[in-house]
Amino acid sequence: MVNLQHPAHVYQQLMRDGHLSSQDLVSAFLDQIDRHNGQGLGLRAVLSVCPKETALAQARQLDEERRRGETRSELHGIPIIIKDAIVTHPCLGMTTTAGSCAIASLTAKRNATVVELLIKAGVIVLGKGNMTEFSGMKSNNTPMGWSGYGGQTLSAFRRPDLDEKDQPVSGGSSAGPAVSVAAGFSPLAIGTETGGSNVLPASMNALYGLTLPHRSVPMDGVAKIADFTDRIGLMAHNPRDLLSLVKILLMDTDSQGKDSSLDMTTKVADFGGLSVGVLDSQWGTHSSSDWKWGSQQVKQEYASVAEKLGALGARVTFPLRDPPEPSLLKAEGETLMTVCYHEFPGVLRDFIATNFEHDPNIRDLRDIVAWNQAHAERAMPEPYTTQTELIASLHNTMDQKKHDAAAAGLRHLGRQEGMAKMMRDLDLDIVLSASDAELISFSASAGWPVATVPVSKLTKNDQPWGMFALPRDGRLDLLARFLIAFGQHFGDSRGPKRPFEGVL
């Protein structure tokens, strides 16, 4: 029987040694999806699943290539779940919805380049993960992880002894991919990120997460909120697997080298010489979460991470004094949010036109709003009967000149002022914060990579939490080195128990 909680590189070694096949893996993960996605725990993490015969045919081909001594990548024969914001051609047997019933009615005509890169590397796309509809752009009353098409993604850490109001949550907007890894539907997942949409659900599901630098990965065929902010994100049990995905997806750019520097970081599993600044656990978090980030349990465990990093050779500053506030991130009177609301209608129009067969009734945001109103029973069921943010974006009044000036100003603030300046002034390689904190806004403004590492779970309800990590000057090599060392010394993610009862 296949252990469904191994990291991808462990499966790869088992296949290399002849103890496991890709067909075994595909069958085991598909069975687990059957067991707990729509049935069992009813996690609703996957919106559409690759048909078994299609997935097994891919696995057989990859097993045969391995028998001939041919492997395409470090993830040859490994399954993955991708966020349903990423387009897949119908030949793969899965729909593309962005969580929207309206988009689900369209027919995709291509694979996103990200999907083509995965296929070329021998990675099997096993399913499309549920998500907050339009990555949170549907309405101001839509919960994280809820979509009109797929319903509410549930956390795999839920407990039968808790009331609904006390249950752990999945996070969002890339909720389905994160829950899929935690629940043993796949060892790897891909999400997207505007401002936390990848690293937040990764942290809330006890995973390692990595959001890649802006424009370092092809974004064609991906449903975005804004070109200015949106990036591809990765999730896994172990950071080694994240870097294996990076090598597949990262374009040839000057962002610290595609292969050589990342190969080097996988061999350096210590913190020696790294300068790490740790923000107070409540910095940049909302006051409504003071019960969490201000609790004695979290403060002690949070501080223990800083202490252990120092003991392992890092130069640690904790807590960082007088850090910049997220309110700094405003240019021309505009914020990241208002820039995104201006861009969304055009981004959505291009996404529909480029990736789907023509439908005269669904061409742009105005059509989506009208379609939702005409199909309200499906698109806006009780209690989520509004589409406030789609309408707000549709009626956005910012002109292009104002947008361009604001975007340029925000990029400058992200890369030259605020957190970036503090890191240079204090000679910090990495800054850590709570995994609900606004460190992600500095990452989004700069277009820099950001990661999350798992730390612990709340005793009251088993809700996982972690720490965000931002590297100096957006250096992916520094972040990769930190992640590898953290994985080596703090261990793999620690998942839930209930999805695996009676399985292992």
Pairing of strands 315-317, 231-236: unpaired
pLDDT of residue 157: 98
Residue 269: pLDDT band with limits 50, 70, 90: confident
Pick the catalytic residue: 197, 203, 244, 281? 197
Tens-digit pLDDT profile for residues 330-340 = 999 999 999 99
Half-sphere exposure of 500 (CA within 13 A, CB side): 18
Catalytic residue among 100, 147, 155, 173: 173
128 closest CA partner among 37, 210, 22, 205:
37
Q: Report which of residues 260 and 373 the model is more confident about.
A: 373
For 175-218, the pLDDT digits (tens) are 999 999 999 999 999 999 999 999 999 999 999 999 999 999 99
**d(C-alpha 37, C-alpha 156), whole Å:** 10
Give the tens place of pLDDT for each residue, 443-492. Answer: 999 999 999 999 999 999 999 999 999 999 999 999 999 999 999 999 88
Q: Encode 207-251 in three state secondary structure.
A: CEEEECCCCCCCCCCECCCCCCCCEEEEEECCHHHHHHHHHHHCC
CA 212 to the chain's CA centroid: 10
Q: Is 197 a catalytic residue?
A: yes
The pLDDT score that the predictor gives to residue 341 is 98
33-69 exposure pattern, b = at least 16 Cβ within 10 A, e = fewer: bebbbeeebebbbbbbbbeeebbbebbeebbebbeee
Q: What is the pLDDT of residue 268?
A: 66
Domains, the chain, in order of start with CATH, read: 8-268+449-454+468-490 (3.90.1300.10)
The answer to whether residue 260 scores a pLDDT higher than 60 is: no
Q: Which residues pair with 431 in a beta bridge?
A: 277, 470
How high is the pLDDT of residue 492?
Answer: 83
Taken in order 147, 151, 157, 160, the sign of the CA dihedral is positive
Tokens for 421, please give them: 């300046």
Task: Assign 264 a pLDDT band (cuts: 50, 70, 90).
Answer: low
Q: Which residue has the tokens 């893996």?
A: 25
SS3 content of the chain, % helix, strand, coil (to 5): 45, 15, 45
CA distance 478 to 42: 39
Amino acid symbol at 350: D
d(CA 403, CA 62): 47
**Which pLDDT score is estimated for 63?**
98
d(CA 398, CA 145): 29
**Region 283-310 average pLDDT:** 97
User: What is the DSSP secondary structure assignment for residue 108, as one 8-state letter?
Assistant: B
Please choose, from the candidates 486, 489, 494, the residue with its C-alpha nearest in 3D space to the C-alpha of residue 239.
486
pLDDT digits (tens, 9 = 90+) for 124-181: 999 999 999 999 999 999 999 999 999 999 999 999 999 999 999 999 999 999 999 9
Contact (CB, 8 A) for 205 and 466: no
pTM: 0.97
**Exposure string (b/e) for 310-345, b if CB count within 10 Å is 16 or more?**
bebebbbbbebeebbebeebbbbebbbebbbbbbbb
Residue 257 is predicted with a pLDDT of 41
Which tokens in the block code for residue 171?
Answer: 């996070």
Average pLDDT of the residues of the chain: 96
Length of the chain, please? 504
Q: Report the range of poorest mean pLDDT among 136-150, 251-265, 282-296, 372-386.
A: 251-265
**Active-site option among 73, 83, 435, 445:** 83
299 vs 179: CA distance, rounded Å: 26
